[in-house]
Structure 1
Amino acid sequence: MSLRVSSSFAALVLALSTLAAPAVLAKPLSGAGAVKMIDTDNDATVDLKEVQAVASATFDRLEKDADGTLDAKELKGRLSKAGVKQADPDNDGTLDKKEYLAAVAERFKAADPDNDGTLDAKELQTPAGKALLALIK
């Protein structure tokens, strides 16, 4: 692991820790702001790997009862009842990290209409991009 990757990861963790502040969560995240926060390789776009790193940290932050899953209360409206049902193939009413990250990947794909594997600020401002950001904020 290179020093650049380690420092980028540290910066990502620091950025994520600031998201726990209620004032930040209440404020909508813009496409450009999201790219700036998530884009660890500084290419002005975010790819699925970068998004899933943030989503994984979000899952860990939301998962309060240490059972390894998120229930509707822990999800705090990030997914509708129908969204949870769709993302829950084992139908247990909760999402484990694998299921949560699969939902993130599905929303990423929906937000990537040109199928280039990256999202720019403009794509993150679309309804599909905003739905993705709702899962990772």
Structure 2
Amino acid sequence: MALRVLSTFAAVALAATALSAPVALAKPAGGAAAVKMIDTDNDGTVDMKEIEAVASATFDRLEKDADGTLDAKELKGRLSKAGVKQADPDNDGTLDKKEYLAAVAERFKLADPDNDGTLDAKELNTKAGKALLALIK
């Protein structure tokens, strides 16, 4: 009986953990946590290739109506109205994947003040780094 209660408790705990994981990931990650999640080559930094992979997946996840673009509703506040306008050279009010990735690249550059092509946890914790993370979360 005790084993059955214990295994039931473990199953409930596991389910609660699984259900809470997406909520935890939806919150803006701190620099160190973001590096851990994005850094596929495990060098302690993230480069544009790693950021672009996450950004591409984010675009695909957000793009709900299958029209190949993100509108303000799909962007869910990741870019301000002015930010969308700046990232939208064809002025159609939406961002296609190329435009979205260009906005991500611009934020990456702003978060990389030493211009070494990588971002560490300290750089991701800056205002510019947090703006980048907000765009790709």
Which interval holds the TM-score relative to the shorter structure? 0.7 to 0.9
| 2:42 alignment counterpart | 42
| Aligned-partner SS, 1:34 | helix
How far, CA to CA, are the matches of 1:46 and 1:23 in structure 2?
21
Superposed CA deviations along residues 42-64 of structure 1, whole A, max 9, x for unmatched, are 00000000000000000000000
* One-letter amino acid of the counterpart of residue 54, structure 1: V
Moved over 6 A (4+): none
| 1:92 alignment counterpart | 92
Q: Is the 8 A contact 2:84 2:95 kept in 1?
A: yes
**What count of residue pairs does the alignment treat as equivalent?**
118
How far, CA to CA, are the matches of 1:24 and 1:55 in structure 2?
15
* One-letter amino acid of the counterpart of residue 125, structure 1: N
How far, CA to CA, are the matches of 1:42 and 1:88 in structure 2?
34
How far, CA to CA, are the matches of 2:113 and 2:89 in structure 1?
25
Identity of aligned residues (%): 87
How far, CA to CA, are the matches of 2:82 and 2:22 in structure 1?
28
Superposed CA deviations along residues 99-134 of structure 1, whole A, max 9, x for unmatched, are 000000000000000000000000000000000000
Cα offset, 1:22, TM superposition: 3.7
How far, CA to CA, are the matches of 2:24 and 2:73 in structure 1?
20
Q: Does 2:113 correspond to 1:107?
A: no
Q: 1:23 to 1:118 in 2, by over 3 A?
A: closer
Structure 1 length normalisation: TM-score? Answer: 0.83
Larger C-alpha radius of gyration, 1 or 2?
A: 2
Cα offset, 1:23, TM superposition: 4.4
